[in-house]
Amino acid sequence: EVQLVESGGGLVQPGRSMKFSCAASGFTFSNYGMAWVRQAPTKGLEWVATISYDGSSTYYRDSVKGRFTMSRDNAKSTLYLQMNSLRSEDTATYYCTREVGVLDYWGQGVMVTVSS
């Protein structure tokens, strides 16, 4: 059974940093691209970033370029998202997803609140 379990998240002040992780199981992690998708409270879905199966390529939405870094450790089947210079508009639930073009499996999500 495919499982994606995020950890981390919480309350952080504007301008500060946060990093969370996503532990994958139930599939060969190193064979798949992965993505982060976020959802602001009561809002729709917004793709954030994608990383290729081997970590050699990453793609980011413009609003997070230069601030967020997505990475992976295939030996540990773990995905990471390092978020710097956080803004109030980054407040959202962040979902770890397996990406095969479409997003076929989703984690339960981790909430990040950026507020002073």
Partner 1 sequence: DIQMTQSPASLSASLGETVTIECLASEDIYSNLAWYQQKPGKSPQLLIYDATSLQDGVPSRFSGSESGTQYSLEINSLQSEDAATYFCQQHHDYPWTFGGGTKLELK
Region from 14-22, 23-31, 43-51, 76-84 binding partner 1, contact rule CB under 8 A: 43-51
Q: How far is the CB of 33 from partner 1 (least distance, A)?
A: 11
Interface residue with partner 1 among 51, 95, 110, 112 (CB under 8 A) is 95
User: SS in 3 state form for the chain?
Assistant: CCEEEEECCEEECCCCCEEEEEEEECCCHHHCEEEEEEECCCCCEEEEEEECCCCCCEEECHHHCCCEEEEEECCCCEEEEEECCCCHHHCEEEEEEEEECEEEEECCCEEEEECC
Residue 84 tokens read as 């710097």
What is the rounded CA–CA span in Å between residue 23 and residue 73?
A: 10
- The mark string for 8-27 relative to partner 1 (x by CB under 8 A, - otherwise) is --------------------
Q: Which is nearer to partner 1, 14 or 23 (CB)?
A: 23
Which one of residues 14, 47, 82, 84 is an interface residue with partner 1 (CB under 8 A)?
47
Selected binder of partner 1 within 1, 41, 75, 101 (CB under 8 A): 101
List interacting residues with partner 1 (CB under 8 A): 35, 44-47, 50, 59, 61-62, 95, 101-109
